[in-house]
Amino acid sequence: MSKPTYIAAIDIGTHSTIGAIAEKLPNKTIQIKAIVEVPTRMGAVVQGRIKDVNNTLFDIKSICKKLNNQCGIVPNKLYLHSSWLSKEAGYEEWSKLFEMVNTKHKESMTFISVPNIMALKADMLMTPAEQNNGCLLIDMGAGSTSYLLRVKGEEDQIGIVPSGGWHISNDLTFKGLSFEYAERLKIKLGNAQADKVEFPSKYISLNPNGPFDINKSIRLSDLATMIEERVDDTAKRFLGKLFKEGHLSIAGRKIVLTGGASLLTNIDRWYQEKSRLDVRYGDALTHIDSDELTQRTNRPKYHTLLAMLLYGTEDCRIEKTTSWTKRLFPKEKKINDALDNAIGTLF
């Protein structure tokens, strides 16, 4: 019986860094054995770009330790991805990160790059019919938005825009509003369509810890307007180009959304109305096992991680081998030596 293959991968994001270990199953699906998510250290990743290698390595090491604690597997290889981290782009931080690995880890650690992650996610999230007729995959992260247009028989068109969910929250930090509170407002009350807000005239306090003050508050409709302006600005940077070139003007084309920021309320309807195409959220159901932990990872913000785990082929665990020998105490050693000498004189 062959040994199971375990794949370890880490997705380095602007907002959070996520790692997981999965077993490759015979039916070509994966089963998650452990998953860890930690907040990315402040300033380590900016707009998807790794800016602080030391803090990034610290997060990687921390995640590896927590994964080991969860499932008992010690990874010595990691499939690694970050939005702007690719050899093809000539990004110098990639080389720095790899060069510093052995000096930051006592054990040997090998990093395996996954530069074509959007193509892998398209394979995972698009149906054969969508790939045949033409489909646009939009991956909305915290620091950047990536896209891939796939049409059967044509080369994939891939691009990235340095604008994402983090920028929406940052836009809301006016009047001294903290970023953390802006993030909470976006998630709980944010809307990508200002004209679809249920209670547009309702005011929300910008001071979560103090009494309500009309001068330090914002209407839900105004909150949604600010969010929609950022969504519109981000989408224009690639949708306009694709429409101008005629790629999205053909009947049957569709849009698939993924990434943590894609869960903003009504953003799917916003893209549907602007593009006049069918829009849905990505689903990796056919590629993963049915156990509870694995099913919980079938969420937009984990799709990059799932794609890496499915792509991985090299077993990433350390094989522990021990050669056990009995420890002899001083008296036992003297007796054994005496016996050896006596036997030696007999023969």
Q: What is the pLDDT of residues 282-316, one digit of tens each?
A: 999 999 999 999 999 999 999 999 999 999 999 99
How many Å is the maximal CA-CA distance in the chain? 105
**Same-domain status, 66 and 85:** yes
Whole domain around residue 197: which residue ranges? Answer: 125-281
What is the pLDDT, as a whole number, of residue 334? 52
Q: How far apart are CA 329 and CA 342, in angstroms?
A: 20
DSSP H helices in the chain: 53-71, 92-99, 101-104, 117-125, 128-133, 165-171, 179-189, 220-244, 267-275, 292-296, 303-311, 330-346
* CATH number for position 201: 3.30.420.40
**Same-domain status, 67 and 155:** no
Q: Per the domain annotation, does 177 fall within a domain?
A: yes
Q: Per the domain annotation, does 18 fall within a domain?
A: yes
Output the six-digit token pair for 49: 């770009």
**Same-domain status, 262 and 305:** no
**Same-domain status, 105 and 135:** no
**Same-domain status, 169 and 110:** no
Q: How far apart are CA 175 and CA 214, in angstroms?
A: 13
- Among 242, 261, 281, the domain-final residue is 281
| CA nearest neighbour of 45 among 127, 166, 157 | 166
Q: Per the domain annotation, does 340 fall within a domain?
A: no
- Average pLDDT over the chain reads 84
Q: Per the domain annotation, does 155 fall within a domain?
A: yes
Instruction: Give the mean model confidence (pLDDT) for residues 61-67.
Output: 92
Q: Per the domain annotation, does 17 fall within a domain?
A: yes
Q: Per the domain annotation, does 96 fall within a domain?
A: yes
Helix, strand, or coil (residue 106): coil
Q: Per the domain annotation, does 68 fall within a domain?
A: yes
**Same-domain status, 156 and 266:** yes
Model confidence at 332: pLDDT above 70: no
**Same-domain status, 15 and 142:** no
Digit-coded pLDDT (tens) for 205-261? 888 777 777 778 889 999 999 999 999 999 999 999 999 999 998 889 999 999 999
Q: Per the domain annotation, does 147 fall within a domain?
A: yes
**Same-domain status, 289 and 261:** no
**Same-domain status, 138 and 268:** yes
**Same-domain status, 95 and 220:** no
**Same-domain status, 255 and 140:** yes
Question: Domain tally for the chain?
Answer: 2
Model confidence at 103: pLDDT above 80: no
**Same-domain status, 45 and 148:** no
